[in-house]
Amino acid sequence: MIRTRTLSYCYPKASPLVFADVDLPQGAALLLHGNSGSGKSTWLALAAGLLWARVGEISVADQDLTALKGAARDAWRARNLGFLPQKLHLSAALTVEDNLGLAYFAAGLARDEVAIAHALDALGVTDLAQRRPSQLSGGQAQRVALARAVLLKPRVILADEPTASLDDEAAQLALQLLQSSARSCDATLVIATHDARVQAAMPQALTLRLLPQAVAA
């Protein structure tokens, strides 16, 4: 579940980004729509506890994020959240398998080889386990990042423009994988996008439309 009230965020020397209230039940899906610069990535960063909201309220998976500080936020994020950022942040020095292993390291948990094998299999990338990120196509890298994002069965999955660089077929597949991954752990799913194909593929999703922001003086 995600609940926000009068949420806003202000970068230095900019006008505040103001967000409409959200009430998203556990297991539901939300599309964050808006043009480039409207605040989609900022909203996701607030929901991930990567940015701290000084104004308004935000609760994610029953946790009031404004009440969590520092290391506690990092621990909460590692245990409860699957984040698929626009830039995938796979570690170039590590194999696919070890990139998945990082999820356990970040959460302070013992590495579970069986769960890693299962996640790779669910996303059809078992054959790529020993490759490094530079040896993957864009679509393969995204599947690996998704496998890592859902490895610890997060309560919430956040995806930033997951279809932006994909052709129609790959975009449909990525959306199916995101939705089936979310269903398999009963996670709430939020997708930030300005891609009309996403809404067409997910008519059941709630929509939060972000308005273009006034340019700061």
Where on the chain is the footprint of Mg ion (CB under 5 A)?
40-41
Choice from 4, 19, 42, 143 touching ligand ADP (CB under 6 A): 42
Whose tokens are 């439309």? That residue is: 209
Q: Are the CB atoms for 208 and 22 separated by under 8 Å? A: yes
Token duo for residue 88: 């995938």
User: Does 37 engage in binding with ligand ADP (CB under 6 A)?
Assistant: yes
**CB-wise, 47 or 182, nearer to ligand ADP?**
47
From 39-47, 119-127, 148-156, 164-172, span contacting ligand ADP (CB under 6 A): 39-47
Choice from 66, 95, 126, 213 touching ligand ADP (CB under 6 A): 213
Whose tokens are 């308004």? That residue is: 56
Interface with ligand ADP: number of residues (CB under 6 A): 12
**CB-wise, 41 or 99, nearer to Mg ion?**
41
Whose tokens are 């959200």? That residue is: 22
One DSSP character per residue, 12-27 reads TTSPPEE---EEE-TT
Whose tokens are 């999955």? That residue is: 157
**CB-wise, 40 or 143, nearer to ligand ADP?**
40
